[in-house]
Amino acid sequence: MMQANATQRIMKAFIAYVLPPAVALTVALLLWEIWVSWRDVSIIVVPPPSAVIERFFEEPAFFWREGGYTLYEATLGLLAGSAFAIALAVLMAHSRLAERTLFPLAIVIKVTPLVAVAPVLVILLGFGTAPKIIVAALLSFFPTLVNAMTGLRDVNPGALQFLRSLHASPWQVFWKLRVPSATPYLFAALKVTYPLALIGAVVAEWFTGDRGLGLVIFVANSNLDTPTLFAAVGVLAITGITINVILSLLERRLLFWHQSTRSVQ
Amino acid sequence: MRLVRSRTTQASVWRTLAPLAALLAALAFLAACSGDDDKSQPTSPTAVPLEHVTFMAGFKPQANLPFVGAYIAQEKGFFAVENLDVDIQHVTTPGDNFKFLATGEVQFSTADAASLLEKRSGDPPLDLVSIALIGQRGQQGFAVPANSGITSPRDWAGKTAGYKGAQVTPDYLAILAAAGVDRSSVEEVKVGFEPQILTEGKVDIFPVFVSNEPDTLRRLGYETRVFEAADYGAPTLGLTYVTTGDFLRQKPDVVRRFLNAVLRGISYADAYHAEAIDIVLKYAPMEQREHQLYMLETELEAAKAGQAEASGFGRQTREQWQKLYDFLTQYSALPGPIADISTVFTKQFLGE
Amino acid sequence: MASSQYHVSLRDLSHVFTDGRQPLRALAAVSLDMPPGQFTSVIGPSGCGKSTLLRITAGLLRPSGGQALIHGRPPQQAQRARDIGFVFQDPALLPWRTVLGNVRLPLEIDSLHRSRPLPDTEELLHIVGLADFRGYYPHQLSGGMQQRAAIARALCFNPSLLLMDEPFGALDEITRSAMRYELLRLWEAQAPSATLAPSGRKTVLFVTHSIAEAITLSDRVIVLSRRPGSLRADIEVELPRPRTQEIERSQPFLDYADHLRDLLTEVPL
């Protein structure tokens, strides 16, 4: 009886969460396939999904391996950028002077285009993994900073007053009130910055290419090998979606108490 | 250091010590001269010191002939035999290799001959010297679809030609001039690097590297016809190995050893195409074998054009450089003059 | 009279808020002495400075005029000694903590709480009726239950002064009435109980909008005028304890209610 319930639950979850997007995706791919053949689109301009899927399954291990490299670089960059942003946010949340001084610099980082930064980093840091991690870190930095700052400040004023009435030290207020208050914001930032970090790693790989999906895309592009190019992009997309799903699940578990994770009543 | 034999009783002691002292002094001199080379290993008194250099290819890893020479020299031990420890790099942003040469982080690189003249005549002029001219013909070509009905440059009139970069190249203008086509009769459009622009009919004439895009397109079912300026009398030249004038003056022996090794690599590639491509694919694992083979074979042909077959790979003459210089000047493609063309290249390491 | 006899002494307290576009006079010369163990309500029209008065008493705000004293010393000292319990209209529980975690929060803040005897947290939860909900999270509780948790939280470290700022203001009428008597039960039961206040009843300063609430709960009702709030009336509520629902229908109760209503609706001076 218990087993039947578990199976039922998985079936229900599948129908609710996996089936709709899968159906939508299949329809989209079918339309794409039809369009390519109906309009006689050249394969070196846009490949039909069938060619892309075929190319992927010729060498799935290759694509996953290169995807793994890119994910590794993106993750390290994300951790570095987020850590730096959070540290800065803590500083700025406690000092308006620090905020006035540092925030404009943060905006400079935000608006600098990636493709201008990446080659300079390569010149400064040489080849290898470092420039890719830095690019990913730079992209993760600003959204995390803004969200962390807002989160650290967006505390329940009643709770803050209560702690103050107990003569709680700023340190206590920070750990017991500000940090937990900020976690929904940090999760929101993470959902934005992880894909950005992936993109950053890919773009950086165009400039330093020794491995990774960015290199696959770069080489495939120069060889007009669109099926490989699109397959690489597809792997990136799947990676991004999977990360998002994992983050959402994590969020639901850790932030059960926050209204954002509970459906509208 | 000349040794002076003492006539005193200490002569025999001095006689034993002097060669050692001389060698130590020579080593100290070399160490002092090697500048930022901080990776020198301690050597035994009788070996030639291992020299660490960096070679930066001027593009991504692929079967361009100067790159192939370096790859093979590395893999077959030709560098090792010359006591060279070579770090092979590839430029990320085209043009950055010149920056690295200037700062001394890179000792050897590649450059298109016309590009070299451009950098030498710029403001400020870069201190670059060609130590070998691998491509005896220029790399550029202009592709038209095979079924377009354009069979000669005369047919370019009334068509659309694409150009990459800031403006059309001297090669293009030379072809028009040779065919007697009025430039205003051709619509010139700035394009990107995607050959799809040609296959989708956005332009009729598209600039390509003769060893590259035509083959890629053919494999995808698009036959093209390629026009090269050299076929219309233009004195175009291809890729060179370059170093800085400074490095040349400081360490000519290292330059000689490097060039020996890479030219040997090119000769080896000429003899063993398949193995050469195996080696290229080690550096460019995601490239396609057949296409790389085509690139190698096309560039080998260009490397033997003219009299190079007789003189060996890398041959360069004053006449070749002067003609190229005059050609580029004629089409205002150089930012400034070069007083003495012989400073642009050196033949001292090329066997004749 | 020596100020140290009183638990709380407000002397000529006034406050002006200067952070807005125009200075806002919130309080104007309020004086009040509260002996220990007294339950005092403060009632007045909206914006009359009731909350400001409470915050100054808690040491959260420095008054621009006059002074507040707790046991003869500035409120910051009582704050440092963790001798003030504060309950707001918003229960302000930490949503990521269980009821038990929230109630115990002050004990984590004040690691020196050994200095005075503490109520047993389990019994405290039982007394406020949340013993079965100790593992629940705030979002799973009703407004009334959250407020009970907030009250338990304010009591768990045994402060001798309780400040309450319209704690039942967000609740519906029925719950509000029930909570009123719950609070009374908690407070009135203190004298002999070793659990809540071995040293005697807590001094309470209670801000409210509701006349009935003020009369039911308090020994004394302070009426503030319209902004800037000044002392309009100081009324002793001589109704017997323990207070019951019957008392609310008694004549003295209704007389007090009438009197307060008149005071509140009269055109201010």
Residue A175 has pLDDT above 90, yes or no: yes
* Helix ranges (DSSP H) in chain C: 50-57, 75-80, 99-103, 105-109, 121-127, 143-155, 173-188, 211-217, 251-265
Out of C93, C95, C106, the one facing A166 most closely (by C-beta) is: C106
pLDDT of residue B2: 42
pLDDT (mean) for A42-56: 93
For residues A118 and A128, give the distance between their C-alpha atoms in angstroms, rounded to a whole number: 13
* Cα dihedral C133→C138→C144→C145 (10° resolution): 10
Token pair in block for residue C216 = 């039911």
**R_g of chain C computed on alpha carbons:** 18
For residues C66 and C73, give the distance between their C-alpha atoms in angstroms, rounded to a whole number: 13
pLDDT of residue A1: 55
* Cα dihedral B322→B323→B329→B335 (10° resolution): -50
Helix axes A60-94, A226-254, angle to 10 degrees: 50
Residue B8 has pLDDT above 80, yes or no: no
Residue C94 and residue A176: Cβ atoms within 8 Å? yes
Mean pLDDT rounded to a whole number for chain B: 87
Q: Where is mean pLDDT largest: B33-42, B169-178, C123-132?
A: B169-178
pLDDT of residue C46: 80
- C-alpha dist (Å) from residue A217 to A194, A206, A234, A241, B77: 20, 8, 11, 19, 33
Residue-wise pLDDT tens digits, B264-275: 999 999 999 999
pLDDT of residue B352: 46
Contacts of B93 in chain A (CB under 8 A): 119, 122, 207
* A41 touches C: beta carbon within 8 Å: no
- C-alpha dist (Å) from residue B270 to B76, B88, B296, B304: 14, 21, 9, 10
* B220 touches A: beta carbon within 8 Å: yes
Describe chain B by its helix, strand, coil percentages, rounded to 5: 45, 15, 40
Which residue does chain B place closest to A131, by CA atoms? B92
Out of A43, A119, A223, the one facing B288 most closely (by C-beta) is: A223
Residue C95 and residue A168: Cβ atoms within 8 Å? no
Which of A6-15, A33-42, B13-22, B142-151 has the lowest average pLDDT?
B13-22
Among A149, A116, A117, CA closest to A133: A117
Residue A212 has pLDDT above 60, yes or no: yes
Residue B200 and residue A208: Cβ atoms within 8 Å? no
Token pair in block for residue B77 = 């031990």
Which residue does chain A place closest to B288, by CA atoms? A223
Which residue does chain A place closest to C87, by CA atoms? A162
One-letter-per-residue 3-state SS of B235-294: CCCCEEEEEEHHHHHHCHHHHHHHHHHHHHHHHHHHHCHHHHHHHHHHHCCCCCHHHHHH
For residues A168 and C106, give the distance between their C-alpha atoms in angstroms, rounded to a whole number: 9
Closest approach of chain B CAs to the CA of A246, in angstroms?
31
Q: Pick B46 or C60 by higher pLDDT.
A: C60
Residue B187 has pLDDT above 60, yes or no: yes
pLDDT of residue B256: 95
Give B191-229 as a DSSP string: --S-THHHHTTS-SBEEEETTTHHHHHHHTT--EEEE-G
For residues C155 and C119, give the distance between their C-alpha atoms in angstroms, rounded to a whole number: 8
Among B95, B75, B108, B68, CA closest to B303: B68
Chain C residue set in contact with A, beta carbons under 8 Å: 55, 58-60, 76, 79-80, 82, 84-86, 88, 90-96, 105-106, 108-110, 137-139, 153, 157, 163
For residues B110 and B98, give the distance between their C-alpha atoms in angstroms, rounded to a whole number: 9
For residues B108 and B134, give the distance between their C-alpha atoms in angstroms, rounded to a whole number: 14
Residue A44 and residue B196: Cβ atoms within 8 Å? yes
Neighbours of chain C (3+ CB pairs under 8 A): A
Residue B24 has pLDDT above 90, yes or no: no
pLDDT (mean) for B41-50: 61
Out of A42, A119, A123, the one facing B199 most closely (by C-beta) is: A42
Closest approach of chain A CAs to the CA of C6, in angstroms?
21
Residue A123 and residue B291: Cβ atoms within 8 Å? no
pLDDT (mean) for B93-100: 88
- C-alpha dist (Å) from residue B51 to B31, B61, B255, C127: 11, 24, 11, 85
Which residue does chain A place closest to B98, by CA atoms? A123
Closest approach of chain A CAs to the CA of B181, in angstroms?
32
Selected residue of A63, A205, A211, A219 to mutate for chain B interface (largest B Cβ count, 10 A): A219
For residues A239 and A262, give the distance between their C-alpha atoms in angstroms, rounded to a whole number: 26
User: How many CB atoms lie under 10 A from the CB of residue A124?
Assistant: 10
Residue A127 and residue B89: Cβ atoms within 8 Å? yes
Low-confidence ranges of chain C (pLDDT < 70): 1-4, 111-115, 189-199, 266-269
**Pairing of β B128-133 and β B160-163:** unpaired
Residue-wise pLDDT tens digits, B295-347: 999 999 999 987 656 778 999 999 999 999 999 999 999 999 998 999 999 99
Chain A residue set in contact with B, beta carbons under 8 Å: 42-45, 119, 122-123, 127, 207-209, 215-216, 218-220, 222-225
Residue B234 has pLDDT above 90, yes or no: yes
Contacts of B103 in chain A (CB under 8 A): none
Residue A219 and residue B199: Cβ atoms within 8 Å? no
For residues A207 and B339, give the distance between their C-alpha atoms in angstroms, rounded to a whole number: 37
Residue C92 and residue A180: Cβ atoms within 8 Å? no
Selected residue of B92, B213, B219 to mutate for chain A interface (largest A Cβ count, 10 A): B92
pLDDT of residue B346: 93
Selected residue of C54, C73, C84, C90 to mutate for chain A interface (largest A Cβ count, 10 A): C90
Contacts of C215 (CB under 8 A, 6+ apart): C221, C237, C239, C253, C256, C257, C260
Closest approach of chain A CAs to the CA of C93, in angstroms?
7
Residue-wise pLDDT tens digits, B201-223: 999 999 999 999 999 999 999 99
pLDDT of residue C132: 93
pLDDT of residue B38: 43
Residue C60 and residue A161: Cβ atoms within 8 Å? yes
Token pair in block for residue C77 = 């000292």
Tally C-beta pairs within 8 A across A and C: 63
Residue-wise pLDDT tens digits, A64-123: 999 999 999 999 999 999 999 999 999 998 888 999 999 998 898 888 887 787 777 877
Residue B88 has pLDDT above 50, yes or no: yes
For residues A44 and A55, give the distance between their C-alpha atoms in angstroms, rounded to a whole number: 14
**Pairing of β C8-17 and β C161-165:** unpaired
Contacts of A208 in chain B (CB under 8 A): 92
pLDDT of residue C255: 92
Residue A166 and residue C109: Cβ atoms within 8 Å? yes
Out of C79, C86, C95, the one facing A257 most closely (by C-beta) is: C95
pLDDT of residue B16: 53
Residue A44 and residue B287: Cβ atoms within 8 Å? no
Residue A164 and residue C60: Cβ atoms within 8 Å? yes
The gap between the terminal CA atoms of chain C, to the nearest Å, is 30
Contacts of A258 in chain C (CB under 8 A): 95
ipTM of this model?
Answer: 0.86
Token pair in block for residue C58 = 């808690």
Assess contact for A214 and A205: CB atoms under 8 A. Answer: yes
Q: Pick B206 or A6 by higher pLDDT.
A: B206
For residues C42 and C263, give the distance between their C-alpha atoms in angstroms, rounded to a whole number: 13
